[in-house]
Amino acid sequence: MVTALKERKTVDMTVPLNRQIQSENILTVKNLEIFYGEKRAVNGISMDIEKNSVTALIGPSGCGKSTFLRSINRMNDLIPGARAEGEILYEELNILSEDINVVALRKEIGMVFQKPNPFPKSIYGNIAPALKFAGINKKSKLDDIVEESLRKAALWDEVKDRLHKSALSLSGGQQQRLCIARTIAMKPTVILLDEPSSALDPISNAKVEDLIVDLKKDYSIIIVTHNMQQASRISDKTAFFLSGDLIEYDKTEKIFTNPSVQKTEEYISGRFG
Amino acid sequence: MFMNMRSNFDQNLKELKSLQLKMADEAQVSIKNAMLALLNQDIQLAEKVINGDNVIDDLEYEIHDKALMLIARQSPVAKDLRRLHVALRVSSEVERLGDIAVNIAKSALHIGNEKHVKELIDIPHMMEMALEMVSEAITSFYSEDIELAEKCAEKDDKVDQMFGSLVKELLTYIPQNPDFTNQIIQLAFVCRFIERIADHSTNIAENVIYLETGKRYNLNA
């Protein structure tokens, strides 16, 4: 597996990779520091991310949570001057090491962003091209994966009759679920969500939240959210960040009923931030 | 960055607490009046206690409505959430204290002007102890004082012991004073009511500890 990730140019689409990982933890973060030029945005955090669970990252703006999230699939590589030290272990492999195949990594650790960002193509065309790029060319196989992904993203029933219509004609909530479907199609093990429903209306938000809880059967999910209620509703564990430090990391029910650290209590009960 | 950003919510919590204290005051006055009505065989005062219980009941509804409104509108978590949970619990305990005052007042009415079978000394003594527990429980709630809450709960055993021995003694009067059987049974009821006052105070004390620590203790055990 480890070498596969280093060398593989195409992904074996038939085997969900997370089924093959024995450890309870999908990711182990060790003393992670992230810098933007001289400025340190994340101050040496260590934590384990559990498999098949939803982990919420919370904290005020600028606390380092999104920076941390983006480091998990090396999205910070795109930011000039950004660099990371320490380790993020995924299957005993340090994601941060230079010889990682970042394209392969991002297939296994997918990401969905705050604002729905479908391609200006058809609904079908949002999902199929990446699969073709990954080596799947048979039309029936493509159709199957598109349908399966849309079903898993709880979007199939709403779009099955207009798969070849523009994705931009969908509502914001549908577009976001399409982006989730697009991520799922690549059969990732981890899905990173950066405030995925902050731009959505309450009904769409509820659908996305239900979907996230449903998806943890098959994936490990890490979500950055500014919505405390969202974190408390959908996550199993919650990590509270402040000024680049990981202040408290515990079961969500503990964090939201009786946190151990005063600063956590003050933040989640809205007394600063 | 660390300024208090929830002054509106905090103001509402303050108002809720003052409602709770008002309710607790009403209940304590009601219990004292019920006891005075029994001791002085004051029918009017007993009736006043019975008719005045709706004030306490209304305060309980008001507290519950306010607490539920705050849960719905402010999405409280952690200690804020426990505070509202405890507001609901404690107001129900205090409402029961009001009901007990009514029960004692009703016993006073049942006994009416009938001469007491003996001078009532131990019953008011037991009541003083129970009222002290109520006062300590409410003060510990007001000042969020765990030590005082524990001190309050420690007295419960003593009230229980007094209850046991007093009832036993009262029943020994029946063979010699069969005409006073109704009164003696009413007095035994009163002992039971006082013992319940101590239990409710202990429950309030347990809620204070839960509010502060997030952990549950059974102080009655």
Domain ranges of chain A: 2-268
What chain A residue is nearest to B4 in terms of C-alpha separation? A271
Residues of B in contact with A242 (CB under 8 A): none
Q: Which of A229, A257, A266 sits opposite B81 (nearest CB)?
A: A257
CA distance B123 to B103: 15
Which residue from A67, A95, A97, A93 is spatially nearest to A82, judged by alpha carbons? Answer: A67
Residues of A in contact with B214 (CB under 8 A): 257-258
- Where do the domains of chain B lie, and which CATH numbers do they carry? 9-213 (1.20.58.220)
End-to-end CA distance of chain A: 42
Q: Which of B7, B75, B77 best probes binding to A when mutated, by most A CB atoms within 10 angstroms?
A: B77
Strands A54-58 and A109-112, by their bridges, are unpaired
Angle of CA points A75, A79, A84, to nearest 5°: 70
Q: Which of B3, B80, B214 sits opposite A269 (nearest CB)?
A: B80
Question: How high is the pLDDT of residue B184?
Answer: 97
End-to-end CA distance of chain B: 45
Q: Is the pLDDT of residue A3 over 50?
A: no
Contact B5 A273 (CB under 8 A): yes
Contact B78 A228 (CB under 8 A): no
pLDDT single digits (tens) A125-158: 999 999 998 899 999 999 999 999 999 998 999 9
Question: How high is the pLDDT of residue A2?
Answer: 45
Tokens (6 digits) for B54: 């709706």
Which residue from B9, B213, B76, B87 is spatially nearest to A269, judged by alpha carbons? Answer: B76
CA distance A188 to A155: 19
Mean pLDDT of chain A: 90
Residue ranges of chain A whose CB lies within 8 Å of a chain B CB: 60, 228-229, 232, 256-259, 265-266, 268-273
Which CATH number applies to A2-268? 3.40.50.300
Q: Is the pLDDT of residue A11 over 60?
A: no
Per-residue pLDDT of chain B (221 residues; tens, 9 = 90+): 445 678 889 999 999 999 999 999 999 999 999 999 999 999 999 999 999 999 999 999 999 999 999 999 898 999 999 999 999 999 999 999 999 999 999 999 999 999 999 999 999 999 999 999 999 999 999 999 999 999 999 999 999 999 999 999 999 999 999 999 999 999 999 999 999 999 999 999 999 999 999 988 887 76
The confidence band for A9, taking pLDDT boundaries of 50, 70 and 90, is: very low
Q: Is the pLDDT of residue A18 over 70?
A: no
Question: How high is the pLDDT of residue A10?
Answer: 45
Residues of B in contact with A269 (CB under 8 A): 6, 76-80
Q: Which range has the worst mean pLDDT, A7-21, A34-48, A108-122? A: A7-21
Question: How high is the pLDDT of residue A271?
Answer: 86
Q: Which of B9, B75, B214 sits opposite A257 (nearest CB)?
A: B214
Tokens (6 digits) for A157: 């029933």
Question: How high is the pLDDT of residue A207?
Answer: 86
pLDDT single digits (tens) B165-198: 999 999 999 999 999 999 999 999 999 999 999 9
- Express as a percent the part of chain A with pLDDT over 90: 80
Question: How high is the pLDDT of residue A205?
Answer: 87
The confidence band for A5, taking pLDDT boundaries of 50, 70 and 90, is: low
- Per the CB < 8 A criterion, the answer to whether A23 and A87 are in contact is no
What chain B residue is nearest to A243 in terms of C-alpha separation? B1
Question: How high is the pLDDT of residue B221?
Answer: 65
Residue ranges of chain B whose CB lies within 8 Å of a chain A CB: 1-6, 9, 75-82, 214
Burial of B135 (0-12, 13-18, 19+ CB in 10 A): middle
Question: How high is the pLDDT of residue B151?
Answer: 95
Question: How high is the pLDDT of residue B204?
Answer: 97
Amino acid at A264: T
Model ipTM value = 0.74
Q: Which of A253, A271, A272 best probes binding to B when mutated, by most B CB atoms within 10 angstroms?
A: A271
- Per the CB < 8 A criterion, the answer to whether A76 and A256 are in contact is no
Look up residue B76 and give its DSSP letter.
-
pLDDT single digits (tens) A245-259: 999 999 999 999 999
Instruction: Write the DSSP string, A70-129.
Output: HHHTTGGGGSTTEEEEEEEEETTEETTSTT--HHHHHHHEEEE-SS----SSBHHHHHHH
Contact B78 A229 (CB under 8 A): no
Contact A256 B4 (CB under 8 A): no
Contact B77 A272 (CB under 8 A): no
CA distance A270 to B14: 17
CA distance A252 to A236: 5
Tokens (6 digits) for A258: 């009786």
Question: How high is the pLDDT of residue A259?
Answer: 94
Which residue from A34, A119, A39 is spatially nearest to A69, judged by alpha carbons? Answer: A34
Q: Would you tell me how many other CB atoms lie within 10 Å of the CB of residue A28?
A: 16
pLDDT single digits (tens) B98-111: 999 999 999 999 99
Per-residue burial over B79-105, b = 16 or more CB atoms within 10 Å of its CB, e = otherwise: bbbbbbbbbebbbebbbbbbbbbbbbb
In the block, tokens 């933890």 appear at: A25
Residues forming a β-bridge with A250: A238
Q: Which of B1, B2, B78 sits opposite A269 (nearest CB)?
A: B78
